[in-house]
Structure 1
């Protein structure tokens, strides 16, 4: 109870008649049940090497069935030939069958974790000094537990949403070797996950070193992952008779030219909103440059200031960087072949072929070939950031974290949102999970999440999803 509320309560007591009213009972949020669900999920190993996503999905389905969900609304699926790579789609029917559903997506697979490297057993959830520790305690079983618990909580309370709610818990997002469940559903069971909007991981809140909320972010778009092979070939020969047209030299020169090439600045709803919002948070020279770049994308001085920061440069357009090298066939022979893998993160909406052509032009040597290392995805622009998307987030965020700015971001990495956006389901990352500057040590040793952050995010999602579920068209 805050001081203002306490003061009102005191005035009511002093007023006389109201003093006879019984005290209001605290709302039962079912936190103990949520903690048990979260613990079971974290302690179910879902690594590629030794885990079982299907088991984790079935355990969540069992909890939902015990809470009153009919089996017909619980769809545990497994991709053909991959019995441990399964997932769950749970459906909570809405009042209006014509209204588009709200999809809540989270992945349940986790990055590998070796017990000998960790301070604690990575597959035993430990609560210590205000943190939960364990592999997946943050990424992404926190979100998966919140979504699963949320539907159970709604059913327990008798809530009847206007729109159907769906929870999809999937495997394979981490790329460890499992079938990607989100992609499999999008390609094979689009009807099961069909929705007008999807909420996913990929964004959340940032805490200062002393644990105070600084900014709340919303993932409003992702860059596309694309690998290219840059290759130089040559007839070769004996190493005692060197020639100037050495394949390794040609490749080295090509990579040097790529290193000096900057793709043009590109802005969309996500990056405009990010720079406009962060300008007030960052301040100084960088903040001023952010304000100027939004007002005038041709401002080269502002562009140069921002590109000095790798985090800003990563979202200002397409980026390409060599990540693997291979060359030659013998220590005493001129190389007949030298190649590099160049990893590009392509700005939403830009065709992969245009990026390949830009690399060819930057290299400027017709003897060096640039080809696709993996089949390119069709270009897909980020879904628009409409008021219908942002206002519910801003409203609930203000209730829980007053005066903390809500800022859209473009994800330079990637999540399963790309698979849903590709089939026309607009997907946004919004978790309400605030993390320390160490980002919860995701993918690293001793992964953790603040207990308060998890519980606040649970309440945030509970309120937020109701706004979307009852939203008018």
Structure 2
């Protein structure tokens, strides 16, 4: 998932003019594009798709590149045969250096053809963009990882540090079989690594490239929130709609949702977000930048908080957030509702418990007739990995090479990744920089998902160099 594209900040930093220019693809890029296209056009949504089918195709490519039976590991469970994944290992020469793990999820958010301008499961290049479900979240990176290992194996390149690749299913659906969770709990040795590279890091332009925009920031994903869903529900004896009363489950639910809408959880900072606001704010010359620096220095600066809250991404980075995402209620057109409920999706700041958030929602609703119940348990609470210079240093140098003048900033994702399952078993997960998107998020999880061709191809080169720096 490249859920972070919608959460990054604009900063006025020059960008090489070549970023906006389209150039013919090199032969190696054309081969990558074909792999990427195949991945996007293989439906891996929970409703109509199959991660296992895509894992089959990836296995075929890896075997053609020279990977052996001992280096390819397939996994699935009987109750979820379409949600299988694959692990591949490129052995290194070092007996002491721990491996690194490249992680990616194959599944995508469901897309309905009738809602999209283009067929979501057809890979389309148009106007400098790639379109299709998963082009950004996260099949571009999946294809980069696979293509990278294939090229090295075919070229006979052997790393010092073993490189592992795990492509899993279930990241986008809380009720699905989650391959990253299963591997961490059942095949920990197979994915054992000093650290993992995963989704979450990226860059953002100040406005679309076609409108003269520039890449203004690149980020390293260092930590994330914990996603938790709750059901808020009102019940009522109901009755005939010809004799209405004010005691109505739908009205009570509506009142509760309005209270949740108007409530803000308290501001919080951790090492990652404090570094983010301090460094990113210092690179700006506007009022928002000053507010960013001010909040990093003094979290109780209400004037700075008020300024930051005008930006939806900053507002979310500074606290736990909860929002209504699904509604249901009533049972007949001519009957008073006996039940009305809503799903409340919360993104919980690291260190805050899910139970404390549930109790806060109860307090905010302030209606003893309503219930607030946690409905899922995706996994462990998120832990922020350390701001490790050995991880951030090489990434910073490569950002300077590929995006001159653009800062690399550590960031805490307001979304969620499968990195939480790795962190829980002692494998810190980082989202490297490389690709970039528009401030509007590029349709990720929404309609007409898209990513710049230039973003993907530049990101592919940067990430190849980055893994080389870590492993060779």
TM-score band by shorter chain is 0.7 to 0.9
CA distance in 2, matches of 1:374, 1:445: 26
- Equivalent residue for 2:133? 135
Judged with a 3 Å threshold, the aligned counterparts in structure 2 of structure 1 residues 238 and 345 are, in CA distance, closer, same or farther, namely: same
- C-alpha deviation, 1:362, in angstroms: 3.1
- Equivalent residue for 1:409? 411
Aligned counterparts, 1:85-234, within 5 A: 85-114=83-112, 120-175=118-173, 178-207=176-205, 208-209=207-208, 210-233=212-235
CA distance in 1, matches of 2:228, 2:457: 37
- C-alpha deviation, 1:48, in angstroms: 3.4
- C-alpha deviation, 1:430, in angstroms: 1.9
- C-alpha deviation, 1:404, in angstroms: 0.4
CA distance in 2, matches of 1:115, 1:354: 40
Note the residue ranges of structure 2 that are not aligned, 5 or more in a row. 1-25
Judged with a 3 Å threshold, the aligned counterparts in structure 2 of structure 1 residues 248 and 46 are, in CA distance, closer, same or farther, namely: closer
- C-alpha deviation, 1:121, in angstroms: 4.7
- Equivalent residue for 1:341? 343
**Residues 347-389 of structure 1: CA deviation (Å, up to 9, x unaligned):** 1121111112222333445444433222475433211222122
Judged with a 3 Å threshold, the aligned counterparts in structure 2 of structure 1 residues 334 and 440 are, in CA distance, closer, same or farther, namely: closer
Equivalent of 1:82 in 73, 77, 80: 80
Equivalent of 1:30 in 25, 28, 31: 28
CA distance in 1, matches of 2:37, 2:241: 62
- Equivalent residue for 2:274? 272
- Equivalent residue for 1:429? 431
- Equivalent residue for 1:46? 44
8 Å CA contact 2:174–2:376 kept in 1: the answer is: no
- C-alpha deviation, 1:312, in angstroms: 1.1
- C-alpha deviation, 1:313, in angstroms: 0.9
Moved more, 394-403 or 320-329: 320-329
The normalised TM-score by structure 1 is: 0.83
Moved more, 292-301 or 115-124: 115-124
Count the aligned residue pairs.
Answer: 443
CA distance in 2, matches of 1:240, 1:136: 49
The normalised TM-score by structure 2 is: 0.83
8 Å CA contact 2:225–2:382 kept in 1: the answer is: no
- C-alpha deviation, 1:448, in angstroms: 3.1
The reply on whether 1:65 has 2:63 as its aligned counterpart is yes
Judged with a 3 Å threshold, the aligned counterparts in structure 2 of structure 1 residues 281 and 79 are, in CA distance, closer, same or farther, namely: farther
- Equivalent residue for 2:14? none
Point out the structure with max Rg over C-alpha.
1
Judged with a 3 Å threshold, the aligned counterparts in structure 2 of structure 1 residues 215 and 231 are, in CA distance, closer, same or farther, namely: same
Q: Secondary structure at 1:434's aligned position in 2? A: coil
Equivalent of 2:402 in 391, 394, 400: 400
Judged with a 3 Å threshold, the aligned counterparts in structure 2 of structure 1 residues 355 and 118 are, in CA distance, closer, same or farther, namely: closer
Judged with a 3 Å threshold, the aligned counterparts in structure 2 of structure 1 residues 235 and 407 are, in CA distance, closer, same or farther, namely: same
Q: Secondary structure at 2:356's aligned position in 1? A: helix
Which has the higher relative contact order, 1 or 2, with Cα contacts under 8 A spaced 6 or more apart? 2
Equivalent of 1:371 in 370, 373, 392: 373
CA distance in 2, matches of 1:307, 1:260: 13
CA distance in 2, matches of 1:363, 1:258: 7
8 Å CA contact 2:380–2:420 kept in 1: the answer is: no
CA RMSD of aligned residues (A): 3.1
- Equivalent residue for 1:354? 356
8 Å CA contact 1:79–1:184 kept in 2: the answer is: no
- C-alpha deviation, 1:140, in angstroms: 1.5
8 Å CA contact 2:174–2:378 kept in 1: the answer is: no
Note the residue ranges of structure 1 that are not aligned, 5 or more in a row. 1-27
**Residues 177-202 of structure 1: CA deviation (Å, up to 9, x unaligned):** 75332222223222221222111112
- Equivalent residue for 1:462? 464
- C-alpha deviation, 1:64, in angstroms: 1.7
Q: Secondary structure at 2:376's aligned position in 1? A: coil
Aligned counterparts, 1:193-342, within 5 A: 193-207=191-205, 208-209=207-208, 210-233=212-235, 251-326=253-328, 338-342=340-344
Judged with a 3 Å threshold, the aligned counterparts in structure 2 of structure 1 residues 69 and 283 are, in CA distance, closer, same or farther, namely: same
